[in-house]
Amino acid sequence: MLDKPKSNTTNMLDTPVAQRMPREIAPGVFWIGDCLAQRHKGKSYHGYNAAFLVAGKTASCLVETGHPKDFPVIEQHMNELFARGVAPLKYLFVTHQETPHCGGLGRVLKTFPDALLYGDVSDYHLAFPQYEHRMRWMKEGDEIDLGGRSLMAVEPVIRDLRTTWWGFDTKERVLFPGDGFAYSHYHEDGHCGLVAEEAVSLDLPDVSSTFADLALFWTKFADMNVYCDRLDHLIERLDVKVIAPTHGLPITDVKATVPKVQEGLKLAALMPESGTNEKVVQPGAAAS
Ligand SMILES: [Zn+2]
Ligand SMILES: [Zn+2]
């Protein structure tokens, strides 16, 4: 492991998370990117659109690209790692075609002209026809060899789009579940840059159910017990040690933390959908 973030909470609040990354969450697996600020319940509610760099002996693979606004930060974090001797970027794996996951795809392919894009690559050629020859399809079980470890496409249990694949690092057994394990965090509580087990004041069932309510509407109409059982099955089959979600805090104690997130998914399924927009009456609008 290279370095750890400062443990002093006051320092953590003062220092933007972009300045405290990269953070190595497992040997050779680096968490990079920045928070995305929103307001919720009168507090500064943060989301992640995280990216991760998985470094093998001969090549590195970027998992997700971060939010479009984050590309300068992501590029800076990667360049810091390459300057420290991390293997060059040869692969980009994105879980699916939504902006928070692949919004920096064109810039990554432009900036790293040797990098190939892997995943379900539906439609990317329509946005970037100039890079079509660098796009490679994956299906479940396919692996990208990084030298001493590989990035494998695995079953996407909780997903937004049908084109989703989850990623899995075969060496440190890190799962990259895209929209799975999605939850936000509170800036004022010093949660930024922490793994889930360090953010002791974060109510995981609450923030998980809020995220599902706002972003994964289909969880209202599905039996989430079935999905949670399937998640348990996948985690056991792959012997997952660390979970690196795109929107949630990384999970380093799978046994202790996964049940709390699952509790949130099951809670959200029981609540009526609140919708993604706040219902604000516009001045001058006729009352109905
Ligand atoms: Zn997402
Ligand atoms: Zn934050």
- Cα-to-centroid distance, 133 and ligand 1 (Å): 26
Question: Which pair of tokens denotes residue 122?
Answer: 């539906």
Average pLDDT over residues 74-81: 97
> Which has more confidence, 79 or 6?
79
pLDDT in the model for residue 15: 76
What confidence score (pLDDT) does residue 276 get? 53
Query: How far does the centroid of ligand 2 lie from the alpha carbon of residue 69, in Å?
Result: 15
How much is the mean pLDDT over the chain? Answer: 90
How close is the Cα of 58 to the center of ligand 2, in Å?
32
Q: Tell me the CA–centroid distance for residue 133 and ligand 2, in Å.
A: 37
Evaluate whether 124 touches 97 at the Cβ level (below 8 Å): yes
List b or e across 218-229, with b for residues whose CB sees 16 or more CB atoms inside 10 angstroms.
ebeeeebeebbe
Least confident of 13-17, 33-37, 57-61, 74-78: 13-17
pTM of this structure: 0.90
Q: Which residues surround ligand 2, an ion (CB under 5 A)?
A: 35, 46, 187, 192
Q: How far is the CA of 38 from the centre of ligand 2 (A)?
A: 10
> Is pLDDT at 1 greater than 70 in this prediction?
no
pLDDT given at position 213: 83
DSSP the chain: --------HHHHHHS-HHHH--EEEETTEEEE--EEEEEETTEEEEEE--EEEEE-SS-EEEE----GGGHHHHHHHHHHHHHTTPPPEEEEE-S-SSHHHHTTHHHHHHHSTT-EEEE--TTHHHH-GGGGGGEEE--TT-EEE-SS-EEEEE--SS-SSTT--EEEETTTTEEE-TTTT---EEGGGT-TT--TTT-TT--HHHHHHHHHHHH-GGGGSS-HHHHHHHHHHHHHHHT--EE--SSS--BS-HHHHHHHHHHHHHHHHHSPP--SS---PPTTPPP-
Span from the CA of 147 to the centroid of ligand 2 (angstroms): 33
Nearest ligand (C-alpha, residue 249): 2
288 CA distance to ligand 1 middle (Å): 35
**285 pLDDT band (50/70/90 cuts)?**
very low
Res 263: pLDDT: 93
Lowest mean pLDDT of 41-55, 112-126, 128-142, 169-183, name the range.
41-55
Identify the band that residue 13 occupies on the pLDDT scale cut at 50, 70 and 90: low
175 forms bridges with which residues in the sheet?
168, 243
Highest mean pLDDT among 122-131, 209-218, 270-279: 122-131
Higher-confidence position of 44 and 207: 207
Q: Ligand 2 centre from 272 Cα, in Å?
A: 28
| β pairing state of 29-32 and 35-40 | unpaired
Least distant ligand from the CA of 160: 1
pLDDT at 287: 41
- The answer to whether residue 279 scores a pLDDT higher than 90 is no
CA of 18 to the centre of ligand 2 (A): 9
Residue 45 CA, ligand 2 centroid: distance in Å: 8
Q: Give the model's confidence band at 218: pLDDT under 50 very low, under 70 low, under 90 confident, else very high.
A: confident
d(CA 6, CA 13): 11
Q: Rounded to 5 degrees, what angle do the CA atoms 247, 56, 4 make?
A: 55
Q: Please name which ligand lies nearest the alpha carbon of 183.
A: 1
Q: What integer pLDDT is reported at residue 97 of this predicted model?
A: 97
More confident residue, 6 or 12: 12
What angle (nearest 5°) sits at the alpha carbon of residue 51, between those of residues 201 and 32?
70
**Of all residues in the chain, what percent carry a pLDDT higher than 70?**
89
Q: How far is the CA of 171 from the centre of ligand 1 (A)?
A: 25
Q: Angle at Cα 146 formed by Cα 76 and Cα 151, nearest 5°?
A: 90
pLDDT tens digits for 126-179? Answer: 999 999 999 999 999 999 999 999 999 999 999 989 999 999 999 999 999 999
d(CA 64, CA 231): 21
Q: Which of 204, 202, 215, 199 is nearest to 267 (CA)?
A: 204
Ligand nearest to the CA of 50: 1
Q: Pick the range with the lowest mean pLDDT from 64-78, 127-141, 154-168, 183-197.
A: 183-197
| Model pLDDT, residue 232 | 98
